[in-house]
């Protein structure tokens, strides 16, 4: 049987692996909307940074014993990711503040949709696996 901490780490790792290329693609499209010259390859670095910070915070949360600590880490992670989404395009692509913030806002919006869809898919898979383990 897999411990709750290990399953949390596994889900976080799978989410990280799936999120990085999708986040890079979302940043690529967000930049194209504002006619910023960004390749998919160049969009991988900011995507890795945001996903990496999220992964580390989820790891910390996996080992936290208290629901309050997990909640605080989750809220903190949300605000850190918003800051990264808004600031990274400006600094990595050397954009003006307005243009960088616009790209960041659209990128964040795209990733909210992607995160929602991934959450549903991973949740359904977790329920199916959990039900399958119940009947073993």
- What pLDDT digit, counting tens, does each position of 31-83 carry? 999 999 999 999 999 999 999 999 999 888 888 777 888 889 989 999 999 99
Task: List, in sequence order, the alpha helices (H) in the chain.
Answer: 4-33, 40-63, 67-92, 97-134
**Each residue of 96-121: pLDDT tens digit?**
999 999 999 999 999 999 989 988 98
Q: Do 88 and 27 touch, CB atoms closer than 8 A? A: no
**Domain residue spans of the chain:** 4-122
Backbone angles phi, psi at 87, to 5 degrees: -95, -40
Query: In Å, how far are 46, 76, 83, 95, 133 from 53, measured between CA atoms?
Result: 11, 11, 12, 23, 32
pTM: 0.85
């Amino acid at each position: 049987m897999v411990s709750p901490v290990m399953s949390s780490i596994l889900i976080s790792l799978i989410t990280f692996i799936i999120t990085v290329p999708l986040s890079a693609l979302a940043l690529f499209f967000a930049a194209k909307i504002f006619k910023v010259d960004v390749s998919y390859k160049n969009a991988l670095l900011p995507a890795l940074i945001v996903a990496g910070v999220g992964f580390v915070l989820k790891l910390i949360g996996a080992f936290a014993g208290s629901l309050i600590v997990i909640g605080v880490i989750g809220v903190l992670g949300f605000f850190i990711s918003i800051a990264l989404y808004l600031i990274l395009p400006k600094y990595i692509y050397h954009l003006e503040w307005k243009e960088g913030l616009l790209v960041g806002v659209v990128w964040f919006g795209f990733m909210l949709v992607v995160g929602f869809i991934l959450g549903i898919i991973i949740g359904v898979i977790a329920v199916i696996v959990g039900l399958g383990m119940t009947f073993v």
